[in-house]
Amino acid sequence: MFRLQLRSQNLIFREVEDRDLVIKAAKGNVDAFNLLVSRHEKRVFNYLLRLVGNREDALDLTQDVFLKAYQNLTKLSDVGRFSPWLFRIAHNEAYSLLRRHRPDTAELIYDPPTASAKEGMFPIEMNIAVERALGHLTADQREAVVLKIYQGFKFEEMAEILNLPLSTIKSRLYSALDVLKGALAPVKG
Amino acid sequence: MDHSQIDLNAYALGEGTPAERAAAAAHLAKSPEAALDFERLQMTLTALQGLRDEEVPRRIAFVSDPVFEPSLWQRFWSSGPRVAFGAAAMLACAITAHGFLVRPVAQPVLTTTAQISQADVDAVVQKAVQAIEVRTENRVRQEVSLAVNKTEKRFTQEIQMMAASFQENDTLLRKQMNRMYVTNAGLSVGFPKE
């Protein structure tokens, strides 16, 4: 919980600085936008990676997200909301990819990334278990978990990104947590 | 607060108002069942957070890359002053065009003019030409006089400098000749060394 709060605090500080960069970038300051790219590329890439489960797709989508962000920066009415706005673009891009690849279904088939990047403080078995557990979620649930747990967004920001009511966001997230609790129970000891 | 309204998930995720969070904490302190469930939830969250973010495999193209270059039109529209300038220029063109297109046709104006003889015209022209000639002559005279004075002054200065130079050379020559005489005569006193 502490880590989650720390992540949220970092986001608050970052947003204050992002605001200045967005204002400058909207006036044509290329360096300011480059800095925004540097700051957010890892988060956007990982969000997309956890949504689409494919590095190449995630990378291409990340590129498209920043291109669209740059082209539409002047349309961003509240410069303090750059991060949710950026993730809204990322969300739309991910679902556009889904529609292109699988026009008959609205579900992203999650293919957990292979175990090449498992060097963490946790045992590799735990990471595999977590990835499998995420695979049990629906695309909507998984996206809610990614936005909350991995990207540290507030409920209101998630509602803005997904363009859904707060109650739906909570419902998706809580049902996802129930599934994850069950899926991860055997490895807790 | 009713226990059914307590949102332990929100509490675990760091959400909720301070009052809601206090109520959740109090509920956990009272209810061992809720505390056990909350512990499982926290373990799940901890496990989820253990999954690390991956590094971006290659850099995202920056705005400075050609693919991000905005078109001339986008650059124009993205700048308020440019748009304002364009609007002002268009307005100016419209006003100018309007002035040319709907300019009233000049109607021949019938006026009665006084009869002026050619002699009067010649006299006036002659007078004006004379006045101009006098003015021009005076100005030329002044400028020539000024230039002559300046030249004379410069010439005098040059003459003076040349005279001084000759005098100096003459003195030097004399000294050298005297030194030569003394040397030839075998004398060792007389002139200071240069």
B92-110 pLDDT, tens digit each: 888 888 877 776 656 655 5
CB contact under 8 A, B50 and A113: no
B20-76 pLDDT, tens digit each: 999 999 999 999 999 999 999 999 998 898 888 888 887 776 655 555 555 666 666
Q: Please give the residue range of the domain that contains residue A74.
A: 2-187
Please identify among residues 73-102 of chain B the ones whose CB lies closer than 8 Å to any CB of chain A: 74-75, 78-79
Residue of B nearest to A188 (CA): B43
CA dist., res. B31 & res. B99, Å (int): 87
Contacts of A177 (CB under 8 A, 6+ apart): A145, B9, B41, B44, B45
Exposure class string for A58-90: b at 16+ Cβ within 10 A, else e: bbebbbbbbbebbeebeebeebebbbbbbbbbb
B164-174 pLDDT, tens digit each: 888 888 888 88
A5-24 pLDDT, tens digit each: 555 555 555 555 888 899 98
Q: pLDDT at residue A107 above 60?
A: no
Q: Does B17 lie at the interface with A, CB-CB under 8 angstroms? A: no
**Res. B114 pLDDT band, cuts 50 70 90:** low
ipTM > 0.85 (yes/no): no
Task: State chain A's mean pLDDT as an integer.
Answer: 82
**B115 domain-assigned:** no
Highest mean pLDDT among A25-39, A158-172, B40-54, B177-191: A158-172
Number of domains present in the structure of chain B: 2
- Cα B176–chain centre separation: 65
% of chain B at pLDDT higher than 90: 31
Contacts of A64 (CB under 8 A, 6+ apart): A93
Number of domains present in the structure of chain A: 1
**B57 domain-assigned:** no
A80-98 pLDDT, tens digit each: 899 999 999 999 999 888 7
Q: Please give the residue range of the domain that contains residue B175.
A: 128-194
**B55 domain-assigned:** no
The partner residue sitting opposite A149, judged by closest CB among B45, B56, B79, is B45
**B73 domain-assigned:** no
CATH code of residue A100? 1.10.1740.10
